[in-house]
Structure 1
Amino acid sequence: MPARTGAQFLEGLKQPREIWVGDRKIESVADDPAFAGAARGVAAVYDLQHKEADACLMPDPETGEKINVSHMIPRSRQDLARRRAGLEKIAAYSVGLMGRTPDYMNVTYAGFAGRAEEWAVNGNEEGAENLVNYQKYLRRNDISLTHTIVNPTIDKAQGDAPQPGNDVALRKVGETEHGIVVRGARILATLAPFADEIAVYPSHPLPPDCDEYAISFCIPMSTPGLKFICRDSFSESSNFFDHPISGRFDEQDAFVIFDNVEVPRNRLHVNCNTAVYNSVMMRSWWPNVMQQTTVRALTKLEFAWGLASRMTEVINDVKPQTWEMLGEIWSYAELTRACLKAAEDGAIDYGNGVWLPDAQPFAALRASMPRWMARVSEIIQLIGSHNVFAAPSRAQLDDAGLRPLIDHYLRGAGDVGAEQRARVFRLAWDFVGTGLAGRNLQYERFYLGSSVRNYQMAHLFGDRTRANELVDRFLTEDIGAMKKADRHVAEAV
């Protein structure tokens, strides 16, 4: 099957799955009020790839069918630029608010398959072959894939990785004629209600004697024993004037329980092999996926700058401190753009002919971005002030008695009418103040890992070659020779 349409994606959501939200087990994801808006939002992404086919689609290297460019295994800097062009179109649709559109996992598994030799170590050749075959299935069927990689936190003092005997973390508990049986839980599966399949792959390295936790696989959402417990829905009605963001972009997050789930042998990518599990995410995964992540983040920052600027224009806020805050958002966007360019320009062959961006610029961004996003949200709240609460609804604007009063008392500066002012400030509040906005801020704080840990890792693993050379010049120079050189300079003057 070539690249799917939105209608084909919605048809796929009819497959049975056990999804819970609030006190309800969901019967139809595409029709339920908690999910219908985002279901249509993801469907629009599938339609978008056809509307923007020049940027978003490419021929499958084996079948020639049109597939999304996010499935590409990059073989050059030009391929990375080609992929970025498609990723930009997808990110622009949700202005970077949906962090787990299907292109995220497409990019991830293209990177895994391209570097399959990383998965084939320590006797895991069969798992690596399964992974390559799965990536072909993923791209040729254009499925929506979610993932769950983090073990639940029960006792933080015991660390992030499960210790031997942990009966909560996902683990292998048995074998069948056709595969293995797994039991346990993982968090979080963002996009889960809107996925066709779910992926499990490594997160934190495992300690010794934890082979049963060293598993990786992909299975359909309809697999018996899979249960998804969603957080509260923040999806609002499809009235996009009142809810321009939360009416369509609540991608959801789910806690996943594997209640004696059978994983077919041909879907296993790691089967109780700790050496593979602890190594495959260390080198090529994150510089690969960070291209998609950075494109999305840049799009969101550009949107935030444009929105904050528009807020000041409709009320003619020309205070220098306001302009300073606008410039601050702009600087975050430009720094993100510079990191993306530097990473792509510094791309190298990581092995097996796979070209991926330079990891160093992304390491800086990975540590800084969560704090930038929180600051941007604060700036928009400060600029919005009370105005975000004085934005009439669509129904109020349509009321014949209220409309003349709203037009007079809630108009904007200059020729900005009350309806346009309300639209701008309702958009701003949906971006930084609603339930979905709060979820998105929490997402931005932690989806790249904590800033504290990422700053620590950046320092520990950063290339200090030039930094050391600059310091060593002063620590190793001959003082007498330096004084003599200074005298020569003084005499010459």
Structure 2
Amino acid sequence: MIRTGDQYRESIRGSREIYINGERVTDVTTHPQFKPLVDLRARLYDAQFEENSKDILTYTENGETSAIGYKLPYSQTDWWAKRRATDHLMTQAGGVVSRIGDETVGEMWSLFDAADVLNNIDPQFAKNIDAHVRNVINGDPFQVSANTDPKGDRSKPPQDQDPDMLLHVVKETDAGIIVRGAKFETAAAYANQAFTKPTIANWGSEEMSDYAIGFICDLNAPNLKFICRSGFAGRAPAEDYPLANKFDEIDALVIFDDVLVPWEDVLFYRQTKVAKFMRASLHRYTAFAFVQRILKYTDMLIGAALFNVRQTGLDKLQGVQDKLSALACYREGINAHLTASIALAEKSPAGLMMPNQSLMYAGRVTACSKLPEMVHIARELCGGQICVTPDAATFRNPETKPWLDKYYSINKEWLAEDRRRLLAFARDLLNSDYAGHHLSFQTFAQSPNFAQLATIYQNFNWDGPLAFVKQAAGLSDTVMGEHSMTPKNSAASSWFSPDFASHTAETSMG
């Protein structure tokens, strides 16, 4: 039920058509820009078998062992276990990895919640969703998310421009559907499968559409092409850029050049109502893992900044302590939202345990909207030396080493080599190409801030403050009338409202 690292590597070898830096990749497991993340993902697979990790990362049910990250959450205990497993994996990795599968599988749980509605529309697709949720638990694949299309001119519907700007069905066959178009997907070139779905927010009055398609894509399928951005690994020595050389998760434009999707892999088709709900509830579960990763990234910001000010003796200054406190408040704000979202978790329509939606989404806005500010505070605390320090080779050169030892050693505890290592880490964390890419990804990966705020508007319980002021001000019973603002997607209300979906649809990165 759980796989080894070598089994994972073998599953992604073969005839994939992958391009990077203008060249075709012959083996994604050995190519220098993919190998670091392939090795890291393989390492995390192997950790599931190790004595110090297996009880944290796996669970056993009916004699079969599976990954905690893929377990359907039916209780608060399940969420505490998932949080503990993610923390352990990031500690094992020595950094933050955005895409390893646990943070994307929750998108399918949102459709799992819609089983009753889907059964009324087309029972075969509801059956497919249940099967694929079980397949993930049983097969331990590396699953990623395929959301964002090239889109083209967003002022025009797809039918009024090149129709391939949005992924769509071009043909139905007995074996399945033929799809054409493209998606941007992070880590797709070295993953096993992708949950592929539309990003259209407003379908208008259209009830049926060839663009309303959701399916599980086997990333070994024929006629897929992966055109990747240039990676950061290998551009400079790992000792100078330790994060870029280990944690760069390659993004790809995945071309669907008339790809066959078997009927058993189709989760919904030509149902805009389902597509609306899917977009509105896409991050109902996955936002938790996404925000938890920002929490771990914040620990890196704090650690790098605090080491630097303690090295240089600046930690005793009130102004420096204020900035450190700002980082701590940001960190604990994220932590509080994650913790409270479990403590006040809600039952979903399918009986799953959802993190408290209002608290979780508020935590996501806090984490994403303030992240650029926190990165800059960490830059200020790390100082200007992160952008002027020579590379490791210069520190070793016999002609320059004595001078660098002299000027980079601070005291008997902090000698030049440790100082260099910290400054190199901080530079890669805060100032490098990798750092800028990571900041952009975290800011937009689960939709831009305005869409995140719209999600909060639809999930916050406005009735509580209204009722309190109504009582305190002595307002008449008629003032609230039929204008209750109870969240439409709460477990006790009309969670499948098309109006709700159209207002909260989120445009996220792949």
Q: TM-score, normalised by structure 2?
A: 0.86
Pick the aligned partner of 1:257 from 255, 258, 282.
Answer: 255
Rounded Cα–Cα distance in structure 1 between residues aligned with 2:440 and 2:285 = 24
Say whether residues 1:175 and 2:172 are aligned partners: yes
Structure-1 residue corresponding to 2:58: 57
Rate the CA distance shift 1:302–1:376 in 2: closer, same or farther, 3 A: same
| 295-304 vs 338-347, greater mean Cα deviation | 295-304
| 172-181 vs 218-227, greater mean Cα deviation | 218-227
1:461-476 equivalences under 5 Å are 461-473=459-471, 475-476=473-474
Say whether residues 1:195 and 2:191 are aligned partners: yes
Q: Deviations over 1:69-113 (max 9, x none)?
A: 01111111122212222122123344663211222123433x247
Q: Which stretches of structure 1, 4 residues or longer, exceed 6 Å deviation after superposition? A: none
SS at match of 1:377: helix
Q: Unmatched 5+ residue regions in structure 2?
A: 477-510
Checking the alignment, whether the CA contact within 8 Å between 1:151 and 1:162 is kept in structure 2 is no
Shift of 1:336: 0.7
Rate the CA distance shift 1:306–1:44 in 2: closer, same or farther, 3 A: same
Say whether residues 1:270 and 2:264 are aligned partners: no
Checking the alignment, whether the CA contact within 8 Å between 2:392 and 2:420 is kept in structure 1 is no
Structure-1 residue corresponding to 2:77: 78
Checking the alignment, whether the CA contact within 8 Å between 2:110 and 2:284 is kept in structure 1 is no
Rounded Cα–Cα distance in structure 1 between residues aligned with 2:91 and 2:211 = 38
1:319-338 equivalences under 5 Å are 319-338=317-336
Shift of 1:309: 0.6
The structure whose Rg is larger is 1
Rounded Cα–Cα distance in structure 1 between residues aligned with 2:77 and 2:195 = 29
Checking the alignment, whether the CA contact within 8 Å between 1:97 and 1:440 is kept in structure 2 is no
SS at match of 1:34: coil
Task: Calculate percent identity across the aligned residue pairs.
Answer: 23
Pick the aligned partner of 2:401 from 399, 403, 416.
Answer: 403
Rounded Cα–Cα distance in structure 2 between residues aligned with 1:440 and 1:9 = 25
Checking the alignment, whether the CA contact within 8 Å between 2:110 and 2:285 is kept in structure 1 is no
RMSD: 2.3
Checking the alignment, whether the CA contact within 8 Å between 1:183 and 1:258 is kept in structure 2 is yes
Structure-2 residue corresponding to 1:429: 427
Structure-2 residue corresponding to 1:364: 362
Aligned-partner residue type, residue 41 of structure 2: V
Structure-1 residue corresponding to 2:19: 20
Structure-1 residue corresponding to 2:480: none
Aligned-partner residue type, residue 12 of structure 1: S
Aligned-partner residue type, residue 436 of structure 1: Y
Pick the aligned partner of 2:286 from 258, 266, 289.
Answer: 289
Rounded Cα–Cα distance in structure 2 between residues aligned with 1:414 and 1:118 = 67
Structure-1 residue corresponding to 2:204: 207
Pick the aligned partner of 1:379 from 377, 380, 385.
Answer: 377
Rounded Cα–Cα distance in structure 2 between residues aligned with 1:8 and 1:113 = 29
Structure-1 residue corresponding to 2:344: 346
Say whether residues 1:304 and 2:301 are aligned partners: yes
Structure-1 residue corresponding to 2:30: 31
Rate the CA distance shift 1:457–1:271 in 2: closer, same or farther, 3 A: closer
Shift of 1:264: 0.7
| 39-48 vs 428-437, greater mean Cα deviation | 39-48
Shift of 1:453: 2.7
Q: Deviations over 1:342-376 (max 9, x none)?
A: 10011122133211111011121222222222112
Q: Unmatched 5+ residue regions in structure 1?
A: 479-493
Q: Deviations over 1:16-58 (max 9, x none)?
A: 2111112111111121122122221222221223331111001
Aligned-partner residue type, residue 201 of structure 1: K
Checking the alignment, whether the CA contact within 8 Å between 1:202 and 1:278 is kept in structure 2 is no
Say whether residues 1:105 and 2:80 are aligned partners: no
SS at match of 1:199: strand
1:63-142 equivalences under 5 Å are 64-94=63-93, 97-109=96-108, 111-112=109-110, 114-115=112-113, 117=115, 120-142=118-140
Q: TM-score, normalised by structure 1?
A: 0.89
SS at match of 2:246: coil
Checking the alignment, whether the CA contact within 8 Å between 1:106 and 1:139 is kept in structure 2 is no
Checking the alignment, whether the CA contact within 8 Å between 1:366 and 1:451 is kept in structure 2 is no
Shift of 1:390: 4.0
Shift of 1:238: 9.0
